[in-house]
Structure 1
Amino acid sequence: MKSAFLPCVRTALLGLALMFSAASAHAQTFPERAVTWINPYPAGSASDVTARLFADEFSKAIKQPVVVINKPGAGGLIGTNAGATAAPDGYTLLVGAIGTHVFNPVINSSTNYDPVKDFEPVSRIVSFPNVLVVSSKLGVNTVEELIALAKSKSASEPLLYSTAGNGTTSHIAAGQFERLAGVKLTGVNYKGTPAAVNEVLAGRIDFVFGNINVILPQVKAGTLKALAIASSERYSLLPDTPTFNEVGMPEMEMVVWSGLFAPAGTPPEIVKVLNEAANTVARSGVLQPVYESAGATLEVDATPEDFAKLLQADTAKWVPVLKEMGIKAQ
């Protein structure tokens, strides 16, 4: 007597085979129409400008239009949630960032997405190095001198640092610096990096961690002095500025990146197609000089798995720091 179980097994296996065959066939023809990128940050921001530059080249690689739409608000939560809940078919991607996928889940209790479970990493597309700069009038020329000055201050009159806003990379970098240097500092939050840098220029604030594209003109003009850069290597536009690793503070390294994410459940074959398109953009060599002139670095991961590993590493590094600092979204 034949078991009734065997036909069920055959039916299930046939169904799986058909499903994988359909997914493979879809990947071979993907994409067949325009792809939308959701940017959770405002139009004109560094993330927006570089994403649009990348999208133009990405469109050529996939031979379909790429439409970038901005959905800012709530520190990136609105746009990121829209990316998480989009159809998992590869036609809607999120331009996520270290802020949306590492910082927000810790500092913002309103975060309504899981940065790992709700997304499929595709590839980074850009990074921005933060630079520690002081007013040229402060009278310090090195990180060591800045720390010595901070230690000489009384508790009632500590050095002041400005940030681009509560929970931003400039805020977190300054908090990490205070923690590692063993000094007492006072932070003042502003709305955006330009405002934070302007306060240092005006002499009302002592230092700031600023995006290189914002601080570079003032450093070149001599009104700001760059003490160290939070990247793994010296930057071509600031060749005389040491990395934090060179000054004995390797924990200060922070790669501020933006990258593409697909909604969870997107077929891996399609994620691979998208990653390969990003690598095609990188190999073309078109964007690197454009990015560098804007103070950014072209960053593309060879595989989606490489991007996932970087996300895991950043989470392991920064989540304990954020919890110790006690930063909460306001």
Structure 2
Amino acid sequence: MDLVKRPRRLRINSIVRDMVRETSLDIKDLIYPLFVVQGDNIKEEIDSMPGVYHFSIDLLIEEVKEVRDVGIPAILLFGVPSYKDKLGSEAYSEEGIVQKAVRKIKEKVPEIVVITDVCMCGYTIHGHCGIVENGQVLNDKTVDYIAKIALSHVEAGADIVAPSDMMDGRVAAIRKLLDSKGFVNTPIMAYSAKYASSFYGPFREAANSAPQFGDRKSYQMDYGNSNEALREIALDIEEGADIVMVKPALSYLDIIRRVKDNFNIPIAAYNVSGEYSMVKAAAKMGWIDEKSVVLEILTSIKRAGADMIITYFAKDVAKWFTTL
């Protein structure tokens, strides 16, 4: 008699299911994004991102302490400046919002890993990620500024810098400048495959960074392309990236998998604002169970090959894990 194949044998018992599970999500896999603004005693919820806030530096410190206490190892810091100009000068100012926040975090919560987003879009009056002349974003001129911003973050105490501008050659420029200033041990987490995505809408409200004309398709990637992502990542690795990122995550699981299969380098995936807000909205309507959906989504990102996940759900997940 032919034996019946019974894969269900390993699914019947919850303990056995855990024993044979191929992919596990851990608090240490998570990075928590935070938005810091000028002022005092500010904690204002972002309308399109329930549960995510703008913090002034004084209250940001309390939030970072809570992040540390629930076991999340790192934050990704975004600054929302009070002043903008054509050159995004607050982005590289010693008294810029990110620089002041980093110094205070490293003073008060030195054990947290501080990753800083390095870009110009939130700091320029036109909302583009670089220097604009005659309606064009200039690549090489922008790269000089991106490196300058990264250096200012590291001088303030940032542990890792994360350039998100998608200009050609910016990783090499940052690496060269950091090394020349003695910061040879500061890693670069490059937004290497950053797609021109519609999932960034809530973030642009949070960071006040929407472009004032046109779009970002001349420098962010076309969502129809995957081979191009591998070329971009290969270039960033060659230029000195220590970690590469795929952004967004959920609609780009195939990209994460291809990167994992082709490169021996740590991979970060960004579970972006639109992905977060859709889950929050559906959960609010009672259409889905938020906790189970979030854990399924994040596990799928890890299963695809991500080593670390940047997610606005990080603090919720950490708390869920401590109550399991």
TM over 0.5: no
Higher relative contact order (Cα pairs below 8 Å, separated by 6+ residues): 1
Q: TM-score, normalised by structure 2?
A: 0.29
Which structure would you say has the larger Rg?
1
